[in-house]
DNA sequence: CCGTTATGAATGAATG
DNA sequence: CATTCATTCATAACGG
């Protein structure tokens, strides 16, 4: 589902802003742009799928005329709402990695703020990197290191899985105080099992949106 | 494009950094901005409507089909894992998120105890949720919002003056975010209208939405 | 190409 | 509040 090649690397030189010229404009960060694009794409996709779903369900007789001459964006549909964002993620260079590992081995736990700043500055000598990257790296490194260690009690101690517990063991999320009536409204979207099930549920699950827009606006304007 | 891996992955870096000559700041006019927001809002609304519509329809003639609330669905996880993910942590549904974001944007800091109760009650209409969830959400949202802002204080200047660098992120270290070609798949929805299912139709009509704020949205990729 | 795997990032919850 | 932990999601890197 990848495009072809990884994202166009350098990614520069082009400015597609149509003219923006000397006009009063707003500037968005890539982050914001991503959010917007993501959201729109997600909605667009969802709407289409909903419509399709609806049609296939309602038109049991006249679906004869369902001709698709229109290649939708399958790549997107099948894989959910990602992909649309051509986001790239940081990847440590060998040198950076080496340094990071080195620090990690020194035992000191999470470097913490100030330290991170220093490290970042240091590593920046070897390539793009940000404090966040460093921070995340340590977080992940530690977490995974711990998990691995924990999952290595070789031999015995095979308490196997006691799961069977489908709903949260310590359902802290739910308080007896507010048991809601049998509402049929999207019963959680926890199961993000897309792929085969074109059910509404899976679609709803994709409606995540990060933004801060104000979707709660005047439905009347459009839904009148 | 064999950008190996060690080399300077051109990735991340901040928007305007653009380095040398590549600048890819996204510029929008207020008008375009407005259109975007509008479209998103419309999509959000439509999706909700569609979902509702679908549900009311299926609940009356399809009583046995899709199974909602699928406890779990564990497609992946290959290496002998169990993981009957019952999902133990709360995840806001799209609608809940929207509402929360909405509230957050209103500026008022962490809601009071009482307020939280109200919010929770309100959100419970859209899925399971507890006061704790709401509380945590606000705490996290605020904390992260702050952190992010602090990590990217770089002012937005359209200046376009060639800063010449990205390579010395002493303090400018910014959160790496994507920088991608504006690719968004927004396949036209009008083609879906041919079928007549009253409810849906009117909804679809609304999807054609505000024209083109297009500099970033290219449909061609899939519409060939 | 396509499916895996490794791992960067996001985020709910817990702790101080 | 500030930090940290734990779990999950998305994707770069890799092998077939």
pLDDT, one tens digit per residue, over B148-186 is 776 555 444 444 444 433 433 333 333 333 333 333 333
Verify if strand C has an atom below 7 Å from the CB of A188.
no
Domain boundary among A149, A169, A187: A149
Handedness of CA B12, B142, B108, B91 (dihedral sign): positive
Verify if strand C has an atom below 7 Å from the CB of B132.
yes
Residue A197 has pLDDT above 50, yes or no: no
C1’ C14 / CA B148, Å = 21
Q: What is the pLDDT of residue A220?
A: 37
Whether residue B186 sits in one domain with residue B203: yes
Chain A 141-180 residues whose Cβ is under 7 Å from strand C: 141, 144, 172-173
Minimal Cβ distance to A57: which of B20, B62, B132 = B62
DSSP string, B3-71: --SSS-------TTT-TTT----EEEEHHHHHHHHHHHHHHHHHHHHHHHHHHHHHHHH-SSSS--S-S
Is residue A154 assigned to a domain? no
Lowest pLDDT segment from A109-113, B11-15, B32-36, B54-58: B11-15
Is residue A69 assigned to a domain? yes
Is residue A175 assigned to a domain? no
User: Angle at Cα A206 formed by Cα A204 and Cα A207, nearest 5°?
Assistant: 70
User: In this predicted model, what pLDDT tens digit does every residue of A156-182 receive, in sequence order?
Assistant: 444 444 444 433 333 333 333 333 333
The CA–CA distances, whole Å, from A12 to A19, A129, B99, B166, B173 equal: 17, 19, 37, 13, 19
Whether residue A98 sits in one domain with residue A74: no
Q: Which residues of A touch B131 (CB under 8 A)?
A: 175
Is residue A170 assigned to a domain? no
Q: What is the pLDDT of residue A61?
A: 45
Q: What is the pLDDT of residue A222?
A: 34
Rounded percentage of chain B residues whose pLDDT exceeds 70: 28
Q: What is the pTM for the complete model shown?
A: 0.52
Is residue A202 assigned to a domain? no
User: Taking all residues of chain B, what is their mean pLDDT, rounded to a whole number?
Assistant: 57
Q: What is the tally of structural domains in chain B? A: 2
C1’ C10 / CA A61, Å = 45
Whether residue B185 sits in one domain with residue B112: no
Domain boundary among A105, A133, A149: A149
Expressed in percent and rounded to 5, the helix, strand and coil fractions of chain A are: 45, 0, 55
C1’ C5 / CA A78, Å = 21
Lowest pLDDT segment from A106-120, A141-155, B150-164: B150-164
Whether residue A145 sits in one domain with residue A107: yes
B129: CATH: 1.10.10
C1’ D15 / CA A117, Å = 37
Whether residue A72 sits in one domain with residue A38: yes
Residue B134 has pLDDT above 90, yes or no: yes
Residue A5 has pLDDT above 70, yes or no: no
Q: Which helix (H) or strand (E) holds A137?
A: helix A131-150
Whether residue B147 sits in one domain with residue B103: yes
Residue A53: name the closest of A198, A191, A205, A204 by CA: A198
Under an 8 A CB cutoff, do A208 and B66 touch?
A: no
Domain boundary among A79, A109, A140: A79
Is residue B80 assigned to a domain? no
Under an 8 A CB cutoff, do A70 and B95 touch?
A: no
Lowest pLDDT segment from A58-67, A109-118, A126-135: A58-67
Whether residue B193 sits in one domain with residue B168: no
Most confident by average pLDDT, A200-204, B51-55, B63-67, B173-177 = B51-55
**Structural domain containing residue B141:** 90-151+161-172
Q: What is the pLDDT of residue B135?
A: 92
Q: What is the pLDDT of residue B34?
A: 63
**Confidence class for position B138, pLDDT limits 50, 70, 90:** very high
Q: In the A/B pair of chains, how many CB contacts fall below 8 A?
A: 401
User: In this predicted model, what pLDDT tens digit does every residue of B80-127 receive, in sequence order?
Assistant: 333 444 457 888 887 788 788 888 888 777 888 888 999 999 888 888
User: In this predicted model, what pLDDT tens digit does every residue of A14-56 receive, in sequence order?
Assistant: 343 444 445 555 556 656 666 666 666 666 666 666 666 666 6
Is residue B77 assigned to a domain? no
Whether residue B106 sits in one domain with residue B47: no
Over range B126-136, report the average pLDDT. 89
Whether residue B204 sits in one domain with residue B141: no
Whether residue B167 sits in one domain with residue B198: no
D chain positions with any atom within 7 Å of a protein CB? 1-14
Whether residue A101 sits in one domain with residue A64: no
Instruction: Identify whether the C-beta of residue A120 lies closer than 8 Å to the C-beta of residue A129.
Output: yes
Is residue A67 assigned to a domain? yes
Residue A7 has pLDDT above 70, yes or no: no
Whether residue B145 sits in one domain with residue B100: yes
Rounded-to-integer distance, Cα B200 and Cα A47, Å? 10
Instruction: Identify whether the C-beta of residue A110 lies closer than 8 Å to the C-beta of residue A137.
Output: no
For residue A81, which nucleotide's C1' is closest to its Cα?
D10
Over range A209-219, report the average pLDDT. 38
């Amino acid at each position: 589902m990848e495009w072809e090649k990884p994202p166009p690397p350098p990614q520069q030189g082009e400015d597609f802003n149509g003219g923006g010229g000397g006009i009063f404009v707003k500037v968005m960060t890539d982050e914001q742009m991503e959010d917007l694009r993501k959201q729109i794409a997600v909605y667009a996709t969802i709407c289409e799928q909903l419509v399709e779903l609806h049609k296939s369900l309602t038109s049991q007789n006249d679906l004869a005329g369902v001709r698709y001459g229109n290649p939708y964006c399958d790549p997107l549909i099948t894989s959910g709402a990602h992909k649309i964002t051509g986001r790239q993620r940081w990847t440590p260079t060998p040198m950076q990695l080496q340094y990071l590992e080195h620090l990690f081995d020194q035992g000191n736990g999470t470097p913490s703020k100030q330290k991170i700043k220093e490290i970042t500055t240091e590593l920046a000598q070897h390539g793009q990197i940000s404090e966040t990257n460093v921070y995340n790296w340590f977080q992940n490194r530690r977490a995974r290191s711990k998990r691995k260690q924990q999952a290595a009690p070789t031999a015995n101690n095979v308490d196997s899985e006691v799961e069977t517990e489908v709903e949260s063991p310590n359902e802290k999320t739910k308080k007896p105080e507010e048991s809601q009536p049998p509402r049929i409204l999207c019963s959680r979207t926890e199961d993000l099992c897309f792929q085969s099930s074109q059910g509404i549920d899976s679609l709803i699950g994709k409606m995540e949106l990060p933004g801060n827009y104000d979707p709660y606006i005047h439905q009347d304007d459009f839904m009148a």
